[in-house]
């Protein structure tokens, strides 16, 4: 495995932190199911990883 295929640690940690913050830190609104809230957390974490270029786009999608 070459160095370019390894994930970048700082952008990866930020993306995971954002997803975990939404998943556990923010209460689920009454009008949203917990499953939908968790899906939103994963989606926003993925978008943060793409913006931060944590890994190549093909590996994230």
The answer on pLDDT for 7 being more than 90 is no
For residue 1, the model assigns a pLDDT of 54
Are 42 and 19 contacting, i.e. CB atoms less than 8 angstroms apart? yes
Handedness of CA 31, 44, 42, 22 (dihedral sign): negative
Q: Which residue has the higher pLDDT, 9 or 28?
A: 28
- Residue-range domain boundaries for the chain: 18-60
Mean pLDDT, to the nearest integer, of 6-19?
88
Q: Cα(4)–Cα(2) distance, rounded to whole angstroms? A: 6
Note the pLDDT of residue 51. Answer: 92
The pLDDT tens digits for 13-31 are: 999 999 999 999 999 999 9
């Amino acid at each position: 495995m070459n160095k370019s295929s390894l994930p970048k640690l700082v952008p990866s940690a930020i993306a995971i932190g954002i997803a975990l913050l939404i998943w556990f830190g923010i209460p689920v609104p009454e009008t949203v199911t917990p499953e939908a809230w968790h899906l939103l957390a994963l989606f926003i974490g993925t978008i943060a990883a793409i913006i931060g270029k944590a890994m190549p786009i093909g590996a994230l999608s």
